[in-house]
Structure 1
Amino acid sequence: MAPYDLHYQPKDLIPNAVYMASDPELSIEEKETIKGVVNIFSPADNRELCRACGWNHKHELCSSYLPRLRVSHTRENSGLWTMGNDWVVWDRTDEECGNDYMTHQFLQKQRTKYIPLVKKMVEFKDEDRRYNFVVMSRAKGIPLENVWTGLSCEEKESYAQQMIAALRELRQFTAEFPQRVDGSPLWDNVIGNCDSRKMCKKVGKTAEDWINNMDEELREGISRQLKTRDKTAIDTRLQEIKKNFPDGAPYVLTHADLNMGNILVHAGKIEAIIDWELAGYYPWWVEIYTSYNRALSDAADELFDVVWRELDLDLDSVMDNLRPVMRAWGRCPVAHTGRTHIWQRPPFCQCQPFGGVIRKHLIDSEEKHFVNYDRPEWPYSRAEWREAYTGTHEEPKQG
């Protein structure tokens, strides 16, 4: 079987399972492994054994079921399950999942030739549209990130050429202004990017609108950069930034999270580009910026230097005017309500005493974005940070 294939035999799923022949002669280690095992089921004591999947005493004692559904990846309040070897299912909330499915459907309808996608994707929603389940065919490959350093120069060049063809085709889809493929507003995950379950800022239809959407944050960031509360000085600097902010046209269809972990490969071929959650029509430079900025390692430089050079695109013409905006945003003490509510999980079981935390803001709390004007500048003491962070986290103050 290929390295990405999964195995579902007893010893694959339960490595220390003991094989019992009709007249077994067990080793000392095997006898020790099954010492004390209880194999009598009591309906009155049908306890849950796994809080993640609901496996209980009856399942364990009264069946030979080896689940072909397995959790393979989790992120915040989302989980990716494998279903056998050919399918996977995303269990996510709608705001996390909708754009991925929508963009995939759009590209499938366009019958693109050089953009590798998973072959099938089907969406299921709860009646209240709160939860979203997407079943998709499993791309039979491994992340390019995992194999890049061991590739020959010829193999690296081949993957670069495949990415060039994919991006050249993707960038042929354009729009009059920033938006998702269905025409809905595009959330800002480039400059005004918040560490929040729900994105807070939107990319404006024009460069001026985009800056205006971040007005409060940029003013506070500039104030801290200049170490002044003088409104005239702050406004002068903001107007300078706004004047120099680059025009985004053309607005091209962009993946926006094109790290090499999202490029799945097998036998010299890119099998699929996955995770289109952030995709939409962005300013022309965004794909270039995010391909480096969201890289998992320096390997991305080697790949995308070739890609963007071949496509005759670079950031030199815009970065000098983007950095002042990004730095001002970065200096602003952005915060969100609801971060103080957590649940501590108890130990998973007696033999595995691991227990993480569940954060309410990652599940269902209505976070409110605000500027925490009381947060001190770096460097500051832990006590100062705790007082500013917890003291105003629920009641935003106005600057």
Structure 2
Amino acid sequence: MGQTWTKLLFPDHSIPKTSIPNPCTACGWTPERQNNCRYESHVKLFYGVSDRGVWSLGSNMILKERLDTAPNFEARNIRLLEQETSIPRPTIIEDWVEENQRSFILMRRVRGEPLSRLWKDMSPDQRESIARQTAECLMQLRKLQSPQMHSVEGQPLYSAFLFRNGYGLPHGPLASDDELWAEMDLALKDITEDARLRLRERMPPATPYTFTHGDLTYVNIMVQDGRLTGILDWEAAGYFPVWWEFTCAGIGLSQEDKEWKDLLRRFMPDHTAAREFWMDYYSLSKYPDLDESGRALLGNGVSGSHGQE
């Protein structure tokens, strides 16, 4: 092959290496390669955060890549749902871990759009319909119970909201209310013993330990033509206190997400007392940066301050 053809076919070779931008970390291409190629990729990296990314493989497949560290139970959780429920969810095609400890999950795409894209244009009746359909699916989870609190296959639980002593930390398995409280109490080590004991008295029984999604943000709810088509993101699901699904469905990540979760809780089994207990626990866990609610809790002996919220 002559030098002229080499430059035509591989134009990057004619560019001084010092002037070539660093290649894309996702695909390895430089702008020069893109400009000199008619190929337009239909493999797209559409989500990335921390150590993970999610690729769209055309219109039918999704590929998730992440570091193989817990909580990474999504494939196993989805297979459990496939065996035990009719809840719409992604379908796992294959999952594997490479020698470099990178974990991959290839799954079939759930049809529809995230509720987050549709919410503002939906009527009250349409919103209520999706909430009812989602709550009906969650009732199937109420039947999945365990003698201990744990993730799938006896692994620890992970929840930075239920356990406020740090992010990404393992907890359990746990087999009693006392064990649950001991883990939650780690976040209250600077709170007076009297205040902690009073709060402990208000913690509702955790049994039956129930399979729980734990992240029902409207980003994870897929909708098409007014029907729920899938619930996404099961990687940290596990057997939690029976009241935890209702309680964490009160944690809104935006005003619209809060509206969605407020509506969803209307159709879920009511655990308002547990939610009020947890909200007070959450307020105290921020010590010494207490807000007005947290300061009031310490001042009144933690008798409860969220009953009207």
Q: TM-score, length-normalised on structure 2?
A: 0.79
Out of 171, 175, 181, the residue aligned to residue 205 of structure 1 is 175
Instruction: Give the superposition deviation at 1:62.
Output: 6.0
**Compared with structure 1, are the counterparts of its residues 291 and 217 closer, same or farther at alpha carbon in structure 2 (3 Å cutoff)?**
closer
Show the counterpart of 2:72.
98
Q: How far 1:40 sits from its partner (Å)?
A: 3.8
**Equivalents in 2 of 1:81, 1:88: separation in Å?**
6
In structure 2, relative to structure 1, the CA distance for the partners of 1:194 and 1:79 (3 Å cut) is: farther
Deviations 1:158-207 (A, max 9, x none): 212211221111211111221112222212333324564x3254573222
> Which residue of the other structure, out of 155, 161, 165, is the alignment partner of 1:184?
155
Q: CA deviation at 1:57?
A: 7.4
SS at match of 2:249: helix
Aligned to 1:156: 127
Residue pairs, 1:313-352, within 5 angstroms: 313-331=269-287
The whole-number CA distance in structure 2 between the counterparts of 1:263 and 1:282 is: 21
What's the secondary structure of 1:82's corresponding residue? strand
Partner in structure 2 of residue 88 of structure 1: 62
Structure-to-structure mapping, 1:159-308, within 5 angstroms:
159-193=130-164, 196=167, 198-202=168-172, 204-220=174-190, 222=191, 234-298=192-256, 300-301=258-259, 303-308=260-265
Higher relative contact order by CA 8 Å / sep ≥ 6: 1 or 2? 2
Distance (whole Å) between structure 1 residues aligned to residue 165 and residue 112 of structure 2: 32
Report if aligned partners of 1:257, 1:294 keep a CA contact under 8 Å in 2.
Answer: no
Q: Secondary structure at the match of 1:209?
A: helix
2:300 is matched with none
Larger Rg: 1
- Residues 187 and 200, structure 1, Cα contact 8 Å, conserved in 2: yes
Q: What is residue 117 of structure 1 aligned with on the other side?
A: 89
In the TM superposition, residue 93 of structure 1 has moved relative to its aligned partner by 1.0
Match of 2:99 in 1: 127
Letter in 1 for 2:45: V
Secondary structure of the structure 2 residue equivalent to 1:253? strand
Query: 2:72 aligns to what SS in structure 1?
Result: helix
Partner of 1:136, secondary structure, is strand
**Contact 2:209/2:241 (8 A) holds in 1:** yes
Determine the C-alpha separation between the residues in 2 that align with 1:330 and 1:202: 23
Per the alignment, in what secondary structure is the counterpart of residue 331 of structure 1?
coil
C-alpha offsets along residues 134-169 of structure 1, whole Å, 9 cap, x if unaligned?
111122221112212322233223212211221111
The Cα of 1:260 is off from its aligned counterpart by 0.7
Using the alignment, how far apart are the partners of 1:136 and 1:44 within structure 2? 40
Counterpart Cα distance in 1 of 2:35 and 2:121: 46
1:7-54 Cα offsets, whole Å, 9 max, x none, are xxxxxxxxxxxxxxxxxxxxxxxxxxxxxxxx9442685645434321
Counterparts of 1:74 and 1:97, CA distance in 2: 17
CA distance in 1, matches of 2:157, 2:258: 26
1:146 to 117, 123, 148: 117
Q: Which amino acid aligns with 1:165?
A: E
Count of residue pairs brought into register by the alignment: 280
**Where in structure 2 are there 5+ consecutive unaligned residues?**
1-9, 292-309
| 1:396 alignment counterpart | none
